[in-house]
A = this chain, B = another copy of it.
C-alpha cells in the first residue's frame, strides 16, 4: 500500500474513533479517490469500500475488479451480475469485523441504494455522514494539493481573460462560455463549468448559461472553473459591456467590501459562521441584505463544493491549510447581479488569495 494511503487510512481511523464510529462506507467517488488515489468505475452496481478499526475491504462488482486491481491491494469481495451483491456484502462485512456495527459513517455523496443496501443489513445501527471524519481530514490541504490548486487558479485567471476578450455586444453567453472552455483545454485543463449571466440573467446566482446575446449596458457575471491533475479551480469576476447599468458601481463597491471584510475575518480558530457574518454585515448595513441569497463560500478540493462551508450556520473551526471560497453577491431581480469570488488558503497569519487577477470590473469597450 502506498505510504500516502497508509497515512490517510491511519488518520481516518483516528477520526472514526473520536467520532464513535465503528464502520465507514464509501462509494466510488471523490471521498474514495482522496483516500486511495483512485476509485473504481461508478455505475449502478453497488461498490463499497468498508473500513473498520481492524481492516478494510471492498464490495466489488466483478466487472470492475480487474481494472481496479492495478490501483490497490485491498481485498475485493466480488459479485457478478447473475448473483447480485448480497453474499459478497456478507463476506466483506465479516472480513472487516463490521457485521455488528452500531455507528456507521456513510459517504453522503454515494447513491441512495448503495447506502441503504448497507444500512438494511445493520438493523438498529445509526449513521453519520463524513463531516467529522473523512470530510474533516479532506478540509486541510497538503503541499501537493496546494500546488495543484495554485496552478489551476492561475489557469483560471487566463481563462477569465479569454472570457473578457470574447464578451462583446451581439455575442451570446454560450459563446463566451465556449471561449472559456477552449482556453481551459489549451492549457490541458478540463472545463468543469462556466456560468455567464448577462444583464438580468446575472441576477440568478446559478443561471444556466444560454443564448441571450450580450448588449450595451449589461453587467455580466462570469463564474468559471476547470480541472487539471485532479483538482479544480473556481472564480467569479464581473464585466460590463460599455456603460454599466444604473447603480452598478455602488453595488460593486459593496460586494468588494464584503469580500475584504470576510478575508479580514479569516483566521485559524475562527468559526466559519463568523466569516459569513463579516461579509453579510457589510451588505446588510448597505441595505442589500435581502439580495445576498446564498452562503459566503464553500471549500474547494477534489470537489468544487466541499467542506468547510462558510455559511451562517457553520460551526466549523477554521484551520491552517483549509481552502475555501469567499464569494458574496448581490442579485437585483430584473436588473443585474454582482458576485466576486476568491479562492483562499488559510495560513497561520490569515488567508492567501490564489488568483492574481484583480476584482475590478472589466469594461468592454463598445
Contact = CB atoms under 8 A, between A and B. Distances in A.
A260 interface: no
A207 B127 CA distance: 34
A108 B111 contact: yes
A81 interface: yes
Interface stretch (A88-96, A113-121, A218-226, A229-237): A113-121
A6 interface: no
A213 interface: no
Contact of A112 (B44, B114, B208): B114
Contacts of A67: 204, 206-208
A84 interface: yes
A294 B66 CA distance: 13
Given A84-B313, A207-B67, A208-B67, A106 B116 contact: yes
Contacts of A63: 205-206, 293-294
Nearest to A208: B67
A110 B112 CA distance: 6
Interface in A85-137: 106-116, 127, 129
Given A115-B116, A206-B67, A82 B313 contact: yes
A80 interface: yes
Contact of A43 (B114, B203, B305): B305
Quick one: copies of this chain in the complex?
Answer: 2
A204 B66 CA distance: 7
Contact of A64 (B81, B206, B305, B311): B206
A41 interface: yes
A312 interface: yes
A174 interface: no
Interface residues of A, number: 42
Chain A, interface SS category? loop
Contacts of A27: 112
Interface string A48-91: 00000000000000111011000000000000111110000000
Contacts of A81: 294-295, 309, 311-313
A251 B248 CA distance: 69
A109 B106 contact: no
A41 B109 contact: no
Contacts of A204: 66-67
A43 B108 CA distance: 12
Contact of A127 (B107, B116, B312): B116
Contacts of A80: 293-294
A127 B119 CA distance: 12
A272 to B, nearest CB: 11
Nearest to A333: B66
A63 B84 CA distance: 40
A313 B80 CA distance: 10
B295 A82 contact: yes
Contacts of A111: 108-112
Given A63-B294, A82-B312, 17 more contacts: A44-B109, A62-B294, A67-B206, A67-B208, A80-B294, A81-B295, A81-B312, A82-B295, A82-B311, A106-B113, A108-B112, A109-B112, A110-B112, A111-B112, A112-B116, A112-B129, A113-B129
